[in-house]
Amino acid sequence: MPVNLALERGRAYLLSLQREDGHWCAELEGDTILESEYILLMFFLGRLGEAKIAKAGQHLREVQLAEGGWGKFPGGGPDVNSTVKAYLALKLLGDSTEAPHMTAARRVARRLGGLEACNSFTRIYLAIFGQYPWSRCPAVPPEFVLLPRWVPFNIYEISAWSRAIVVPLSIICALRPRCEVPAGCGIAELGRECAAARDDPSESLRGATWRRFFRLVEVALKIYEKAPLRGLRRRALERARDWTLERLDKSDGLGAIFPPIVNSIYALRALGLEADDPLVASQVRELERLEIEESTTLRIQPCFSPVWDTALALDTLLDCGLAPDSAPARRAAAWLLDHEVRTPGDWSRKSVGGQVGGWYFEYANEFYPDCDDTAQVVTSLTKLRHPDQAEQGRIEAAILRGTGWLDGMQNRDGGWGAFDRDCDREVLTYIPLADHNAMIDPATVDVTARVVEAYLRSGRAPDSPELARALDFIRRQQESDGSWYGRWGCNYLYGTWLALCALRQAGEEPTTRPMRLAARWLEDCQNDDGGWGESPESYSDPESKGQGASTASQTGWALLGLMAAGEPESFAVRRGVD
């Protein structure tokens, strides 16, 4: 049978990728902001002359869009931040402004609004290199790390990824390191006219009110920045420094991901540490581990994904017939158990009394386990049957700790976010700095659905209080067309697949209205070739949900969703399998 043959070949290939110690780790792709910021940082550290830096520039040239800019994802249009940073990076590498690719890039950057259209992060990086006034960058005072927990805007109310980015960023903004670019390498030609802030006429009254409020706060902070209280500023800088250094322990760099690592290097240098200081050098090494150098190009991964890759690979192989007591399964389980979190991290600030446990995404990131990885690891481990009773007991104890940790992470609304509990103060999305990234980490259907599966696999009853609240959350989040939004995958196809599987596993019949509505939506999204696809454009434009060129992964998600909805033999499923 073609299906069985494809399964066997796929299983053999996946097994061939398993590392000797039992884990899997594939390349994690990112956009060109990674290479651009890498080049800028290496210039800041005085290392621009190294051959590999030139290779990063060549990668930028090779992936430039035909119209001249750089985008955020394959198939997407040009992005002003990506384009401005790539343009500056290539000028530092010596590319002539008269070269066709630079002329086209400049034209696109100006069409998109130039420097004034860039987000807060880009402006701050440009200010470090003298290409944008610090006075027009958002205020990020380090004093905010001193705010007590009862203040609504303390650092533990913002998302974990933003927290790891912003704390070292506050050091940068307070000390304002400066790195002059050579004559002729500036980017004033991209335009720096000051554009007045305008309100979005479609924004709600509440949103517009908060945005105006934070503009006033920004004005007050800018006044304070001109003459900060010395004692308070010194104490704040010390706390921000200590906070950053504490989180380098048992971690592959701050947050084990590119943006915080880069910011920590700028921050440590701003604090007076030399480039060869062991602390600075250690963070540069973590950055260099993310390099993928080839004969003529170099690209950067945002981070590593071994826990996620291993849990998914193990789960897939076990579902495809790999014996649950086989050597590959045992090696994978042992590796996952060795990467379980055993010390409290930032999450414990809100999960008061919560059990220590869980798993992170990367090789080492002890402060930041996440609910998505933890749920998937738990699900995968439940399918193992270790021949050694002691090892099986170790697996079962880890499952118990993992679900116990998840218990403490359930939000008030019944769902789960990624890294923190009840990190959902929407007001924080209106602060000026919020244009750089998602400032909050609310519950999402996709993560919640994975937790539901983990609970059910580990023996939790469907009518238990935790599961009842979670399933109610999932049902409430269904959109009128039948789809579900999936924050951590792309996007509505991802969310709909996971929601349908969670509901079915919990005992919901395929004949219910939510299941039928979702199945119809998936069938309506099927492409003429039989597959499914969705562009990341759907995050900013929901009208494009479920639309895009067919991909294997997204077709798989849609098929799993339809099967969960009771249609394993439907015509749509058969076309999708083909």
**Residues classed as catalytic:** 372
H or E element that contains 562: helix 552-564
261 phi/psi in degrees, rounded to 5: -60, -45
> Helices marked H in 149-204 — which ranges?
160-175
Could you tell me which of 460, 458, 325, 453 has the C-alpha nearest to residue 392?
325
For residues 131 and 179, give the distance between their C-alpha atoms in angstroms, rounded to a whole number: 10
Give every CB contact of residue 66 below 8 A, 6+ residues apart in sequence. none
Nearest 5°: the CA angle 218, 220, 222 is 70
Other beta carbons less than 10 A from residue 485's beta carbon: 20
Distance between CA atoms of residues 330 and 172, nearest Å: 46
What is the rounded distance in angstroms from the CA atom of residue 288 to the CA atom of residue 126? 22
Q: Would you state the structure tokens that stand for residue 567, as one six-digit string?
A: 């249609």
Residue corresponding to tokens 């193992």: 384
Say how far apart CA 109 and CA 83 lie, in whole Å: 6
**Residues ≥6 apart with Cβ < 8 Å to 267:** 168, 169, 171, 172, 240, 241, 244
Cα separation, 282 vs 505, whole angstroms: 46
Query: Are 151 and 143 in contact, with CB atoms under 8 Å apart?
Result: no
531 and 576 Cβ atoms separated by less than 8 Å: yes
